[in-house]
Amino acid sequence: MLLILAGVSIATLTGENSILSKAQKAKFKTDVAKYKEQIALNSFILEEDNSISGLKKQLELQKGALENGSQNCENALAFMEVNLNMGELSDILGRIEYLLFQLSNEESSTNREKRIKEIDDLILEYDRIVKDTQIDGKEIWNGSINEENPYILDFGSDYFQQGKMIITIEDLSWDKLHGTREIDYNKIEDEIEKVQEAEHKIFNQESVLGAKYDASIYTDVWLSNQETNLEKLYQNIFGTNSETVSEEQAIQNAKSWKTTIEFMNIIDYTYVNIDTSLQRIKECIEIIKNNNNTVGEVKSIQLEIEERIKEIDRELTYTQAGKKKLLDGSFPYMEKITLETLGIQAISFGNQQEIASAETKVTEAIQKIADLRAIISKKQTELEPKREQEAEKGCAFEIDNATAKPTVEIEEKDKDKFQIINGELIYIGDNQNEKQWALEMDIQVKK
């Protein structure tokens, strides 16, 4: 009896649903909630902190966010590279379509059986390719990357938002594309039409991913260069690792015209990128004007144009340094620039008249960007002789002498479990239960 009672006691105290396990989980959740609350509060405090220390932290977090966004772009490019390899599927469907055409005119029973056998084998091979196309052990062509569970490419961080890209992939399995598992050889014409529709769906998926792939490459470059621009601004204020800048000197630097000049460099780089996108859009419109394009080719070009316009909008929205939004009209000397002011918010290509109108709008937008860049260049030339002087209000950073609020620190007892990276709580321990609890609480687990 005592042994039975001891066994019951041990089972109650140990195991996944034991009292001890539940207590450990409750403590873990309490610690996570505490740190998340501190991070959220710290982000708010940091936004309100106008001290030179606060500015330094802001710029460091922003550089980290841009670096993180660039890494996310590279991960997304690797993800999309796998998914752009749909040529084998298209080749198989093309071969099945050819065999079906042959069957529609086939009289020999022997040849008919051979063609049917080949089609059956091709369908098996098609399914094998779909099943074997995996990332991190997960099938990705079976509809799992859908609107409810998309691949999300985050260009920034929770602290320094830079926009996102949503990537979904159609269910490419044979049953889904064809509609049924078996081919009805008594209705060859219907089957040919089904296969052609399947080919069209794969082409559309490749076109969408191709457009997003190209946009991600372009965005990756922009993020990397904006990080470089912020680093230059940072060094102009706080110095480099090899030089010491006093707090007083840093404040003077932050409030000077040379900060204004660096703001303009950041803006100008955005304009350069926008000009590059507009030039590419113009090239695409020229291609669309060519009536020799197939419907599929025109659609692919339109998708690329749409992604380019989204990227222009993203850059206009997120060009920023510290708390300074540089293109929303609040920064002196720079008017507010949007897709609407550029005239490219609504471009369509339904007919030749719309194509001509789109070409005119893009040409005018290119000229608008050139004019804006000329204004920046002229203003920078004017400011250069007085770069060390204090700038007019609103033209540089506004700094007061208040002491910066403390940032979130992981307690010594938790340093083997948690880190804060770019303002985000990360679980770094190796306890399997804690890893699972972290995932349940939407805490990233470091691999």
What's the pLDDT score for residue 19? 54
Question: What CATH number was assigned to the domain covering residues 245-404?
Answer: 1.20.1330.10
Mean pLDDT of 358-387: 96
**pTM to 2 decimals?**
0.77
Checking if the pLDDT of 403 tops 70, the result is no
Arithmetic mean of pLDDT, 90-94? 95
Quick: pLDDT tens for 294-308: 888 888 999 999 999
Q: How confident is the model over 411-442, as pLDDT tens digits?
A: 888 888 888 876 678 888 888 888 888 888 87
Q: 24 or 211: which carries more pLDDT confidence?
A: 211
> What does the pLDDT read at residue 441?
81
Question: Burial code of 34-49, b = ≥16 C-beta within 10 A, e = fewer?
Answer: ebbebbeebeeebeeb
pLDDT > 80? residue 45:
no
- Cα-Cα end-to-end distance for the chain: 47
What burial letters (b/e) apply to 178-196, b meaning 16+ CB within 10 Å?
A: beeeebeeeebeebbebbe
Predicted confidence (pLDDT) per residue in 140-190, tens digit: 999 999 999 999 999 998 888 999 999 999 999 999 989 888 899 999 999
> What residue segments make up the domains of the chain, in order of their start?
23-49+407-447, 245-404
CB count within 10 Å of CB 6 equals: 10
| Count of other CB atoms within 10 angstroms of residue 357 | 15
On the question of pLDDT at 5 being above 50, the answer is no
pLDDT at 445: 86
Q: 230 pLDDT exceeds 60?
A: yes
Mean pLDDT of the chain: 87
Report pLDDT for 8: 45
Band of pLDDT at residue 252, cut at 50, 70 and 90:
very high
Bridge partners of 390, per DSSP, are 256
pLDDT for residue 12 is more than 50: no
Inform me whether the pLDDT recorded for 37 exceeds 70. Answer: no
